[in-house]
Structure 1
Amino acid sequence: MSFLALGDSFTEGVGDPSPDGEAEFRGWADRVAGHLADHVGEVRYANLAVRGKLMRQIVTDQVPAAVEMAPDLVSLCAGGNDLLRPGGDPERMARVLDHTVARLRAAGSRVMLFTGVNVSTGYMRTTIGLFARYYMNVRAIADRHDCLLVDQWPMRVLTDPRAWDEDRLHMSPEGHRRLALRVAEVLGVPTERRWDEPWPEAEPVGWRQARREDLVWVKESLGPWIGRRLTGRSSGDAVTAKFPEPITVKGTAAPVTPASDRNVT
């Protein structure tokens, strides 16, 4: 089986540091490749996702390679960075996504799409309506093209703060782990754990501690993010895809085989 992941930081795995040092981040897609390999024995896996990429960049830089590779399964999540910018148009993003999915399906690949998590607090409060409109279109596109759909919107377990990294934009390792289990479920791949296991009871956070955490977030995450937007820079400007060519993932406990065992072609 072959699996190719396309997208931005969500699919690159930002927020989930790689335990083996082979890449900066692991993420749900690498974990899914491991689940698939445990199920079928071996998977050819590539990940072209790069943090900060807009829809047009994903379509221009990543999709042609996916069409050429024509893997059995392509995951595609794009448009979030566009909607966080001024003038984000969910209907325009949906039209581009629809055309892109048609290209991937015509190449013979099964396509897996995603909605996002229903988080309407903090900086997302003013944009959640745009995202909701976009995800309604994503569901319609999935139906129209017979795609797999990982609908995160009703996954309340992912609204827990512990599912998110300190930057409050990317998932934490536990968030990525739970999402990978949900993706495996959508794919019909059995796993030993469940994505919707209840979280352990959390220690209450006092008002002063919460405000200190807010200040740290503004300084270390929100401020730099705004700065990049004002100067036209992206977090992915100097980043390249971690697995631009397919690697062989074998059915072991590790989500990606060590470099010495990889069969890269």
Structure 2
Amino acid sequence: MADHQETPALRSYAALGDSFTEGLDDPGPGGAFAGWADRLAGLLAGQCPPGEFRYANLAVRGRLLDQIVAEQVPEIRRAGPDLVSFCAGGNDILRPGSDPDEVAERFEAAVLELRESAGTVLICTGFDTRALPVLRHLRGRIATYNGHLRAIADRNGCAVADLWSLRAMHDRRAWSDDRLHLSPEAHQRVALLAARALGVPVAEEPDAPWPAQHTPTPGELRRENVQWARSHLLPWVGRRLRGESSGDHVEAKRPHLLPL
């Protein structure tokens, strides 16, 4: 898990993306979500004199790649931050019949645009979903997209947080009850990984083993699976059938670069 070359002091950071970057299921101050991007911003702010670091998080749950490009990228052109994280395309890959090659072409076009306005662009690969119900069937498509993302990063000088390599994400404690979004501890691990990719020193190991815990019995697992299907899978399928998104009527939680 090689770190990106050390970067100069980063005094402004804008995060773009969907629910992953918005920080769902990681409760923060005031009832809002925190998430890995907010946690990374805190780590970066610690490298700057007090009051000099600015942060924006424009990510909104449910957004597809083209929506992120249309709604969020223009703010980068206006603000010109030192760092932008661009994690997008995951919701596109989840859609039946999606083509990772075609999604990657549109992703790189956006990266080229971001490189003109931001000092450093950080991207994230997708997680290895072999341990997740439903999403495990998309593992090959995600791996193909990841291959494109690594090549895009190489061609355009982007930093990469390689989420596929995080073995800690194979533990059920890395995921929230919906089995789609991260738990608070997992958000912290992603923030540490992203910081390392940027050359920011961190004291903790992103892929440290989880503490030992009780192993659920087959009966307990069956009950959990039934509860998960009722509470999360069926509503998710229903939204897809109705053409709805969890991000409908949701606005960015931190749309402008402001002191952290």
- Structure-1 separation of matches of 2:118 and 2:224: 47
- State the partner residue of 1:217: 228
1:236 aligned residue (242, 247, 258): 247
- Structure-1 separation of matches of 2:94 and 2:25: 19
Amino acid at match of 1:203: H
Give the alignment of 1:74-153 within 5 angstroms: 74-121=84-131, 122-153=133-164
Tell me if structure 2 keeps the 8 A contact 1:7–1:49. Answer: yes
Q: Helix, strand or coil for the counterpart of 1:120? A: coil
Per the TM alignment, residue 207 of structure 1 is displaced from its structure 2 partner at its CA by 1.0
2:67 is equivalent to residue 67 of structure 1 = no
Tell me if structure 2 keeps the 8 A contact 1:83–1:90. Answer: yes
Amino acid at match of 2:180: L
2:44 is equivalent to residue 36 of structure 1 = yes
Tell me if structure 1 keeps the 8 A contact 2:81–2:119. Answer: yes
Comparing 74-83 and 114-123, the one that deviates more: 114-123
Tell me if structure 1 keeps the 8 A contact 2:176–2:183. Answer: yes
2:208 is equivalent to residue 197 of structure 1 = yes
Tell me if structure 1 keeps the 8 A contact 2:84–2:118. Answer: no
Tell me if structure 2 keeps the 8 A contact 1:115–1:152. Answer: yes
Tell me if structure 1 keeps the 8 A contact 2:125–2:161. Answer: yes
Tell me if structure 2 keeps the 8 A contact 1:119–1:128. Answer: yes
Per the TM alignment, residue 168 of structure 1 is displaced from its structure 2 partner at its CA by 0.3
- State the partner residue of 1:51: 61
- State the partner residue of 1:248: 259
The count of aligned residue pairs is 247
Per the TM alignment, residue 63 of structure 1 is displaced from its structure 2 partner at its CA by 0.7
2:238 aligned residue (221, 227, 241): 227
Amino acid at match of 2:212: E
Per the TM alignment, residue 108 of structure 1 is displaced from its structure 2 partner at its CA by 4.0
Identity %: 49
Comparing 115-124 and 218-227, the one that deviates more: 115-124
- Structure-2 separation of matches of 1:40 and 1:24: 25
Deviations 1:165-200 (A, max 9, x none): 010000000000111111111112222322122110
Runs in 1 of length 4+ with deviation above 3 angstroms? Answer: none
Tell me if structure 2 keeps the 8 A contact 1:39–1:190. Answer: no
Per the TM alignment, residue 43 of structure 1 is displaced from its structure 2 partner at its CA by 1.5
- Structure-2 separation of matches of 1:165 and 1:36: 26
Q: Helix, strand or coil for the counterpart of 1:166? A: coil
What is the aligned-residue RMSD (CA, Å)?
1.1
Deviations 1:42-98 (A, max 9, x none): 421000000000011001111111122111100000111111111211111100111
Tell me if structure 1 keeps the 8 A contact 2:120–2:158. Answer: yes
Tell me if structure 2 keeps the 8 A contact 1:67–1:107. Answer: yes
Per the TM alignment, residue 109 of structure 1 is displaced from its structure 2 partner at its CA by 2.8
- Structure-1 separation of matches of 2:136 and 2:175: 16
Q: Helix, strand or coil for the counterpart of 1:246? A: strand
Tell me if structure 2 keeps the 8 A contact 1:164–1:170. Answer: yes
- Structure-2 separation of matches of 1:100 and 1:46: 18
Deviations 1:208-236 (A, max 9, x none): 11111101110111111000000000000
Per the TM alignment, residue 140 of structure 1 is displaced from its structure 2 partner at its CA by 0.3
Comparing 221-230 and 123-132, the one that deviates more: 123-132
| Aligned CA distance change for structure 1 residues 108 and 209 (closer, same or farther; 3 Å) | closer
